[in-house]
Amino acid sequence: MRKYPLPLLHPGMVVARPVFSADGLVLLNKGKELRPSYIQRLHEQGIPAIYVEDHLMSGVDVEDVISEQTRLKAIKTVKSMFAGLSFQVKADRKPEINELLVKQTVTEVVDDLLNRGDVMVNLTDIRAVDDYTYGHCVNVCVLALMTGISLGYERHNLLYLGMGALLHDVGKVKVPPEVLNKPGPLDPHEFEEVKKHPGYGFEMLKGLAGFSGLSAQIAYQHHEKFDGSGYPRGLQGREIHEFAQIVGMVDVYDALTADRIYRKAYQPYEAFEMIAGTGNYLFDYRLVQAFLNNVALYPVGIALKLNSGHIGLVVDTPKGMPHRPTVRLLCDPEGQIIAEPYEEKLSENSKLLIDRTLTEEEYTAIRNRHRKTS
């Protein structure tokens, strides 16, 4: 299977992973052959890409770090909770949060992550553009917990971290929707409104029976930066709780890799390098390293050119070696098709380096040439 952006989909392609709506309903199931009407439906739903079968990626599955069932359940929980909180705020009622449900959701995510300990973050984002918030909260929770596990956190601390991460943006329910959903840059007044959400979130979470004060601090401090350039208090270095630093860091990474109304997503390797450059500047270097060891610099399916001149597709990345994927070679240094593609483990061959990534158009041309020779 391989991820394809919506503009490159065409009738006859076969869906490799189920595609879900914002409400968790199946839009297209695995094994379904694409028709023009299906592609149009994806466009209407704002789905930027889907995973389809690709003969050059035969035998390769893109595994998520948590199960599909756990992810969907968590997204539904967040969406339902935010909807309820928004209604309570509009009705001028005290916001109520189901702490037990949040803890149960985070527990399931922790269990999944511990059971899939050798899986790297490879599954790139296919969320609907207008359904960003809920998937983002779950992604931030997952990425924060992966980092906490790498740092050796005990289970009770993982739960505190995960609960705070899942609800890190809960204060946004008090920000005017026209500001929050503005399809473009915010003016200074609007940005000041957005900057109030950490304080709102802190007030909503502090003192709740099922939450540690640490979870409330995550909501309050997740936009603080190591160099003091963050908000709302301009904290520096160790003044920022480690949990909040982790959530703030993965919050930035997930935002970078998601399609937004006002910009396209950055490629994972671009977001990876951006985060890598923030060590001891925006975030503690130790936390940056712990996070990035879980993230594939080049996710499965990315087409690459090596310094040897070979062209291939990433099929795997070993845990802890994000820069050294396993590549299925498709073309030789002269650009000729390799009739029987084979795999090269960059983790075992220090002479091979990645020269550049290929565009989707370049890869499509190679795939079509392969079809003609097979």
Q: What is the mean pLDDT of the chain?
A: 89
Q: What is the pLDDT of residue 125?
A: 55
Torsion of CA 106, 165, 22, 107, to 10 degrees: 0
pLDDT digits (tens, 9 = 90+) for 338-358: 999 999 999 999 999 999 999
Does 1.10.3210.10 match the CATH number of domain 68-292? Answer: yes
From first CA to last CA, the distance across the chain in angstroms is 18
- Residue 308, pLDDT above cutoff 60: yes
Identify the band that residue 121 occupies on the pLDDT scale cut at 50, 70 and 90.
confident
Please tell me the distance from the alpha carbon of residue 225 to that of residue 106, in angstroms, as a whole number: 25
pLDDT digits (tens, 9 = 90+) for 309-344: 999 999 998 888 888 999 999 999 999 999 999 999
Q: What is the pLDDT of residue 154?
A: 95
Identify the band that residue 130 occupies on the pLDDT scale cut at 50, 70 and 90.
low
- Phi, psi dihedral angles at 38 (to 5 degrees): -70, -45
Residue 3: both structure tokens together: 């991820």
Per-domain residue ranges for the chain?
2-57, 68-292, 303-373
* SS3 state at 172: helix
* SS3 state at 321: coil
Q: What is the pLDDT of residue 269?
A: 87
User: 2-57 has which CATH code?
Assistant: 3.90.105.10
Better pLDDT: 115 or 128: 115
Domains 2-57 and 68-292 share a fold: no
pLDDT digits (tens, 9 = 90+) for 132-159: 778 889 999 999 999 999 999 999 999 9
- Phi, psi dihedral angles at 198 (to 5 degrees): -60, -40
Identify the band that residue 131 occupies on the pLDDT scale cut at 50, 70 and 90.
low
Q: What is the pLDDT of residue 206?
A: 86
Please tell me the distance from the alpha carbon of residue 269 to that of residue 274, in angstroms, as a whole number: 9
Q: What is the pLDDT of residue 335?
A: 92
Find out whether 137 and 78 touch, Cβ atoms under 8 Å.
Answer: yes
Q: What is the pLDDT of residue 288?
A: 96
* SS3 state at 359: coil
Cα separation values, 133 from 49, 137, 153, 175, 312, Å:
18, 6, 27, 13, 35
Taking the model in full, what pTM does it have?
A: 0.89
Find out whether 139 and 254 touch, Cβ atoms under 8 Å.
Answer: yes
Q: What is the pLDDT of residue 57?
A: 93
